Structure 1
Amino acid sequence: MNQLQLSPLAGLSGMPTDSQHVPPTQVFRILGRHRLAVVLVTVGMFAPAVAFIETMKPYYTATAMLMVGTRQASFRDLQATVSTPDIDAVGINTQVGVLRSSTIARAVTERLNLVDDPEFRKVLDTVPLKARIVLAVQKLFGIAPPPAPPMTPTARLQATALVLADKVNILNDGRSYIITITAKTDNPASSARIANAYADAYFESRRHMKVAATWRANALLDEQIVPLRERLRHAEQAVEAFREQNGLISARLEHMPGTPEADATTVADEQLMRMNQELVTAQAALEEKRARYSEVRTAERNGTVGNLPDVVSAPLIQQLQNQQAQLSSRVSSLSRSVLDGNPEMQAAQAAAAQVRRQIGAETARIADSIAKDVSGAQARVAALSHAVDSLQKQVTAENQANVTLRQLESEANAARVVYQDYLGRFAQTSTQAQLQEPEAELISRAEIPLGFSGPPRTQYLAIALLFSMLCGTGAALLADRIRKGIRSTSQLDSVPGLFTLGMVPVFNGALVRHYRSAAAGVSSAYVETIENIRSILCFGHSRFRAKVVLVTSARPGEGKTTFAVSLAANAGRDLQRALVIDCDSRNPSALGALGKTDQASDNSLPVSVATGRLARDVMPGVDILTMRPPGERNYAMVSPMELSRVLTQFSPHYDMIVLDTPPILAFPDAAVLAQQTDGIVMVVKWGLTGSMELTEAMRILHAYDARVLGSVLTQVPARGLESAEKRQLGIYRQYGLLTS
C-alpha cells in the first residue's frame, strides 16, 4: 500500500508499520549531520589514550612449559593412595588450579626472596588510587587520617605473593596436556627466574604431596595391622578351644593346600568308616555261613551229608574214604574166596564198619562246626552293629559341632587374609615412599627473553582509535536520539495516513518583506517552496486538488498561521484572489502574522450572512476574515453551519480559501470544520512535533472522517538536514535564491 491509498483506519490499531523502521543508511546520515560532534568526541578520547599508551613501560615475558599426565615410576599394583590414574581434562584443570594457588606463589616468593625485589617492593609501597582519593577527601575536609600500621613480615610476604600471582599467567589450551607458565616483569632475568621457580615449586609440591600421602597410608596401615593381628590370634584360639572342647581331633595333621581345616577327617570318622567296613564284611561272612549251614541241614534231611563240599574236601574224610575203599575192596575180594564166618572176612568187615563210623562222626563234627560258625558270625555282626550305632551317634554330634567350628574357622581365615593383605600393602608403601615422582615432566625451562614483549602499542592505539570512534558514533546517535520531533520528510511519510506535500525552510524577517521582494523580482527559497505546495493543491493529482483548504497542526507554535497566510499570498502573487478565514476563536492571529491590526469591515460586498470582520488587501490579492475578533471575547467554536454560510457567500469571489484553525490535540475545531472543506493540510514544525503526536492527531481526524490532503514540514533549518533535503535546498542556492 502506498501513501496515497492509506486506509482511514491506518494507524488506529497502534501496531507499528514497516515504514517506521529506520534503514541502515539512516545511521550514516545521522553521522553526517553530527560529524563535528563525532570528530570532537573521537579526538577528545583518542588524544589522552595516546598519551597514556606512550607512557607505558615495556615488560618482558618468559615461558616455561610442562606436561602433566606422565609417570616417572610405575607401580601398577599399588592402591589409589600411592598411584594416580591417567590424567583427563578435569585433572589438567586441577593441576592448573594447583599452579595458580597461593601456596605455590608463596613458595616461589620465599625461594626467590621477592620481598626485597625492587619491582615488587615498589608495587607494595605505592598507595592505591582508591586510598589516594580517600586521603584527598579527608584532607579536603580537614580530617586527619589514622596512621597506617606497619606491615609484618608475614603480611608483606603474603602481599608479595599476591602481586606475584598477578604477574604470572598459567594456561592450558584444552587440547593437550601441556601447561604454560608465563611470567611478566620489568626485568628479563626476573621473568625467567620466576617462571622456572614456579615449575620447580610445582614439582616439589607434587612430590611432597605424594610422599605425604604415602606416609599417611603407611601410618593408616600400621595402625590397622595391630588390631588385625589380635583379631586373627583370637579367632584361631577360639577355633582350637572349640575343637578341644568338643573332641574334634583331626585324624590327619597335614592337609592339602587350599583345603579348610574343618574338612579334615576326625578319629570318630575314621573309626566309623572302619567299623562300617568290618560290619559289611561280617554280614557277608554271616550270610555265607548261613548258606553253608542251610545246605548242611538239607543234606542231613536227605541223608546226603557226605556229598557236602566241606565234607568232601576235608582231608580226614578223604583219608577215611580211601581206607573205606580199600576195606571194601578187600571184603569184596574175600567174599569170593571165603565164607562170611571167616575171621579174616569178619575182621575186614569190622574194619570197614569202623571206618564208616569215623566218617559219620567226622561228618557230624563238620556239620556242628558249621552251625557254631553261624552263631559266632551272628554274634560278631551284632557286636559290630552296636559299635556302629554308637559311633554314628558320636559322629552326628561331632558334625553338629563342626558347623560352629567351620564358622569359627571361616572368621579366622578372613582375618588371616585381611591381615596378610595389610602386611603386603604395608611392605609396598614402605618401599614406595622413596620412589614417588610427580606425574609431570618439564618440557622446556624459561629462558631470558632477548627483547621486550610489550606493551603492544600499535594494537592499543588501534583499539583506542576504534573505541574513540565508537564513542563518537554513539555520541552522535545519542544526540540525534534525544532530539525530539520529525526532522526529515521520510520520517514524516512514516506516519500512517500522511503524505509530505513539501518542506518550507525557515526565514528571517517579516513575511511581507519576502513577498514584496518576490514582487520586485528577488524571490527566495521560502516563497518557491510555498509555490510548489500550492501547485500540488491546484494542479496535482485529483487526490490533492482543493480550493478550500483547512490548515491545522498537532500542537501550537508550529507555524500553521504563517503557512496559511503564505499559501494565500502565493495565490495573490499569481494574480488570483485568496481569502484567509481565521477560525481560531480563542486566539485569532492571521492579521498578527503580517504585523497588522484588526481593520474595519468593508460592506461593499454582500456579507449580510457573514460574521466577524474582513480585512481587505492585507497583501496583494489576499483578504483576511476574522470570524471571532479579539475584542468580542467570544470563545465559542465556529459552527459548521456558520462556516458553510460564509463559504457560500465568499467562494464565488475567490480562487482559493484557506482556513486557519486551532491545533488538533487541543481543540476539535479542525476535525469538525473539515467536513465543509476540500481537505486538510497538516503543518509540522521541524524538530518539534513527534511522530506519536502526529499519530494521535491523525487518529482524531480519522475519527471525524476528515480528508487529509498531506503534510508540510515547516521551519526547516539550513543545517542538520539529511542528504535528500540538503540537496533539495542546495538547488535553490544554485539558482541564487535565498534560503533564510
Structure 2
Amino acid sequence: MLQDNRRQASSSSAVGNDDTIDLVGLVGAIWRGKFTILLFVLSAMLLGGVYAFVVATPTYRATTSLALEVEGGSILNIDAIIPGMSSDDQTLNTEIEVLQSRGILKQLVARLDLTADPEFNTALLPPPIISLDQIAGGIVDTVLGPEDVVLDPGYDPEATALNDTISALRDAIYAEIHPETYVINIWVTTESAAKSQEIANTLAEIYIADQIDQEFAATETAVTWLSERVAELEMELLERENAMKSMRTEIDLISIEGLEALNRQFIDARERAEAAAADVALTEARQEQIAELRAAGNYEQLAEILDDPTLSNLVEGDADSEAIEARLDVLAARVDANLTRQLQQLQTLQDSVARLEGEVEAQSEDLVRLQQIEREVQATRTLYETFLTRLKEATVQRGLAQADSRVLSEAIPGQYISPKKPLILALSLILGAGLGITVVLVRQFLNRGFRSAEELENETALPIFGQIPIMPFKRRDQLISYLNDKPSSAAVEAIRNLRTSLLLSTSDAPPQIIMSTSSLPAEGKTTMAISLAHNLGGLNKKVLLIEGDVRRRTLNSYFKGQVKVKGGLISAMRAESMDGISNFLVRDPRMDVDILLGEKSPQNAADLFSSDRFEDFLSELRKHYDHVVIDTPPVLVVPDARVIGQHADTIVFNVAWNRTSRVQVKEALRLLRTANLSADGMVLGQIDPAGMKRYGYGGKYGSYAGYDSGYYDT
C-alpha cells in the first residue's frame, strides 16, 4: 500500500537553504586541515629562513643631522644681499630635494669614486647564472633567430654607468625634516657600516659647501648687476637734473605764491563779470517792461516804475499823450544809454577773465611739469643712493659668504637594519598559516559534493538511511561474490544498517515497493539496489529485484554468466497472472532473490510506466513478494523515476560521496517534488574511508572510521 503521507506537498522534505555562516563548521574545517596548514607554515618558514639567513644581503644604516639657519644672519651689522632661508614648509621641503638632487649626488659619486663600487654600479657585478631575461632572450632567439645588435651612435658607457650609479645612490639615501624643528636627518643604507657612515658625512659636507658656493656665486652676480645699475642710474640722474635746469630757464614763474595771487585776480575778475552780467540782464528786463507798458498805454504804472517826477506830474495833471510820450522818449533814451554802458563794461570784464584764465592754466601746466621733473630727479637720486649703498655692502659681504646650515651630528658606523630575521620568520609563519587556512577553507567551500552524512542531511532536510563505503571489487559481476564472501565487512554491515533504517522508516508496515534512484548515472544506485535486495533475501523474505532502467539495461552485467535471460520486464507486464510473470524471472545461484531484467521496448519508457498495465503489474507483485526493489534511471536524465515513484512505498535517493554536487541533488529533489514526490531517505555511497580521514571526518563514522577493529573484516 502506498504511503499517502509521502505524497503530500513537498514542504516536509524541502531542501534547506540556510545562508548563515557556521562558525563552528569553519573552526572544524580549519582543525581538520591542520596538517595542511602545518605544511604551509613549515614551507613558508623554510623559505623565509633561507631568504633571511642565506639569500638576503645584510644592510647597515648611518644617520647624520643638519641644522638649518632659517634667520639668515650676517657677520656684519648690515642687511644681507642674499636673503636667509625661509622657515615655511615649502622652503624646507625644497632643501630636502636639493640635498638629494642630481648635482649634489654627482659630486658625491665623484669624490668617493662610487662608479667603481659594484653595490651602486651594477654593471660591475658578475652576470647571474640564470635569469628571466636570459630565458626570454633564449626563447626569442630560438623562435625568431638571433637579433643583430646595433649600438646607438650616441651611446656613452661612462655616462650610462654614472647615471645608473647616481640613481642607485639616490635609492640608498633618505632625508626628512624632524617634526617641529629645522633639523634635517639624513639616512644612508648600504651593505657596509663604514660605507654608510662615509657617504652620510660626505653628503653633508658637499651640501654645506654647495650652499656656500651658491651664496658666493649669487653675491658675485649681485655685485656685477649692482655695478651696472649704479652706472646707469648715475647717467640717468645727470640727464634729469639738466632737463630740470633747462625748464626753469624756459618758464616765467617766480614762485607758487605768484601763481596763487594770479589765481585770486582771476577769481575776482570772474565775480565782477558775473555781477555786471546780472546788471545787464536787469536793465534789459526793465527796457522790455517799459516797451510793453507804453504799447498798452499804461502811463500810471510807467510813472511808478520810472520814478520820474516830471512824468508823474504829467500823468497826474492829465497832460496830453504827446507830452507824456515825449517825456517817455527821453526816459527810454536814458535806459538805452545805461544798457549800452553796462554791456561795454561787461565785455571788458569778460575779456579780462579769459586772459587771466589762460594765464592761470599755462602757469599751472608749467608748474606741474616742473614738479614732475623734480620728483623724477628726486626718485632717481634716491634709487641711485640706495643702489650705491647696496653695492658697497655687497662688495664687503662678497668675502664673508656662509652656509644656511651646519652639521648638528656626524654619522657613526652604520647599524644593522636588515634583514630582520625574527620578523621575517614571524611573517613567514603568519603568511604560511594564512595561506594554509585559505587553501583549507577554499577547498572546503569549493567542494561541490558531500563529505559527511551530516552535510547531506542538513542540505536536504531528509534522513540518512545509510552510509556505504566503496566495495573493493573491480568488475560488476564480482559484487555478489563480495557480499557472500565478506559478510562481516564494513560495506556489508553498512548495507545491513541501510536495511534496518529502511524497514523501520515507516510506523505502520515495512515498505513493500522500494525505488532506488539518484541524480545522475554512476552514483551507486544499482549497486545499492542489488546489495539491498541481497540483504533482504537473507532475512528469508520473498524479494524481487526489477531493472527499471529499460533504456540502458546494465543490470545483467552484475549477473554475467550466472543467469539465463529469457525475456524481461516488458514481457512480464503482458502476462495475465503470476504464473505468466514467473516465466520471465531469473535467479543468480549466489543470492536468494528473483530478478526481472530490463527489456527493450518500442514504446517510450515513461509512457510504459505511466500505463494502467504497469500499475496492475505492481499490484500483482505485491500479492506474492514481501519486498520489490526497483532500480530506476537517474532523475536528472529521464522522467522514468518520477513516473515509477508514483507506485513506490519508499524512495531511496543515492548520492556519491564527494562527487555528486549540491546543485545536482537539489535539482533532482526539486524535480521529484514537481511530481508530488519526495525522497524518504538519502544514502551516501561510494565513501572513501581514507579520504574521510584525510578531510578530517574519520573519527565520526564508526564502520569505517578506525573503530572497526574486532567488529568488521578488513
Q: TM-score, normalised by structure 2?
A: 0.69
1:508 Cα deviation after fit: 1.0
The corresponding residue for 2:605 is 636
Q: TM-score, normalised by structure 1?
A: 0.67
SS at match of 2:676: coil
The corresponding residue for 1:567 is 532
The corresponding residue for 2:300 is none
Change (3 A) 1:217 1:567: farther
The corresponding residue for 2:295 is none
1:736 to 707, 710, 714: 710
1:706 to 674, 677, 688: 677
1:192 Cα deviation after fit: 1.0
Deviations 1:62-100 (A, max 9, x none): 221234574452799979973433232x55544433333
- Identify which range, 646-655 or 231-240, moves more after superposition: 231-240
Instruction: Give runs of aligned pairs for residues 533-612 of structure 1, distance below 5 A.
Output: 533-540=498-505, 546-595=511-560, 596-600=562-566, 606-607=577-578
1:109 Cα deviation after fit: 1.2
The corresponding residue for 2:87 is 86
SS at match of 1:60: strand
Separation in 1, partners of 2:655, 2:456: 9
1:695 to 663, 666, 669: 666
1:570 Cα deviation after fit: 3.1
- Identify which range, 494-503 or 415-424, moves more after superposition: 415-424
1:559 Cα deviation after fit: 0.7
Separation in 1, partners of 2:660, 2:232: 95
The amino acid that maps onto 2:11 is: S
The corresponding residue for 2:101 is 101
Separation in 2, partners of 1:9, 1:420: 107
Deviations 1:186-242 (A, max 9, x none): 433222111111222233334444555566666666777777777777777776666
| Structure label with greater radius of gyration | 1
1:587 Cα deviation after fit: 1.3
The amino acid that maps onto 1:718 is: P
SS at match of 2:660: coil
SS at match of 1:528: helix
The corresponding residue for 2:173 is 168
Instruction: Give runs of aligned pairs for residues 609-620 of structure 1, distance below 5 A.
Output: 613-616=584-587
Indicate the RMSD between aligned Cα atoms, in angstroms: 5.1
Change (3 A) 1:240 1:653: farther
Deviations 1:576-615 (A, max 9, x none): 3333322111112334335544544799993379699333
Deviations 1:32-85 (A, max 9, x none): 3583x6566655565455345433554433221234574452799979973433
Q: Which runs of 5+ in 2 are unaligned?
A: 1-7, 269-348
CA contact (8 A) 1:684 1:712 kept: yes
CA contact (8 A) 2:73 2:80 kept: no
1:709 Cα deviation after fit: 2.1
CA contact (8 A) 1:538 1:546 kept: yes
The amino acid that maps onto 1:662 is: P
The amino acid that maps onto 1:100 is: Q
1:569 Cα deviation after fit: 2.8
Give yes or no for the alignment of 1:458 onto 2:422. yes
1:560 Cα deviation after fit: 0.7
1:643 Cα deviation after fit: 3.3
The corresponding residue for 1:667 is 638
Separation in 2, partners of 1:6, 1:86: 81
Instruction: Give runs of aligned pairs for residues 300-311 of structure 1, distance below 5 A.
Output: none
Separation in 2, partners of 1:393, 1:737: 142
Change (3 A) 1:586 1:132: closer
Separation in 2, partners of 1:240, 1:541: 136
Instruction: Give runs of aligned pairs for residues 285-296 of structure 1, distance below 5 A.
Output: none
The amino acid that maps onto 1:191 is: S
The corresponding residue for 1:381 is none
The amino acid that maps onto 1:61 is: R
Separation in 2, partners of 1:223, 1:487: 96
SS at match of 1:727: coil
Give yes or no for the alignment of 1:203 onto 2:204. no
1:690 Cα deviation after fit: 1.6
CA contact (8 A) 1:539 1:545 kept: yes
| Identity rate, percent | 24
The corresponding residue for 1:512 is 480
Separation in 1, partners of 2:117, 2:706: 75
1:665 Cα deviation after fit: 1.9
2:192 to 187, 191, 208: 187
The corresponding residue for 2:493 is 528
Separation in 2, partners of 1:135, 1:683: 57
Separation in 1, partners of 2:166, 2:183: 24
Deviations 1:356-412 (A, max 9, x none): xxxxxxxxxxxxxxxxxxxxxxxxxxxxx9999698446522465268538945983
CA contact (8 A) 1:59 1:453 kept: yes
Change (3 A) 1:402 1:469: same
The amino acid that maps onto 2:422 is: T
Separation in 1, partners of 2:426, 2:266: 111
Separation in 2, partners of 1:675, 1:417: 122
Give the count of matched residue pairs: 610
Change (3 A) 1:270 1:188: same
Separation in 2, partners of 1:578, 1:65: 98
Separation in 2, partners of 1:250, 1:498: 127
Change (3 A) 1:48 1:272: closer
Deviations 1:481-510 (A, max 9, x none): 776533333443454565544422112134
SS at match of 2:578: coil
The corresponding residue for 1:54 is 53
SS at match of 1:652: helix
CA contact (8 A) 2:230 2:384 kept: no
Deviations 1:531-566 (A, max 9, x none): 333333332476998543322111111111111222
Instruction: Give runs of aligned pairs for residues 437-448 of structure 1, distance below 5 A.
Output: 439-448=404-413
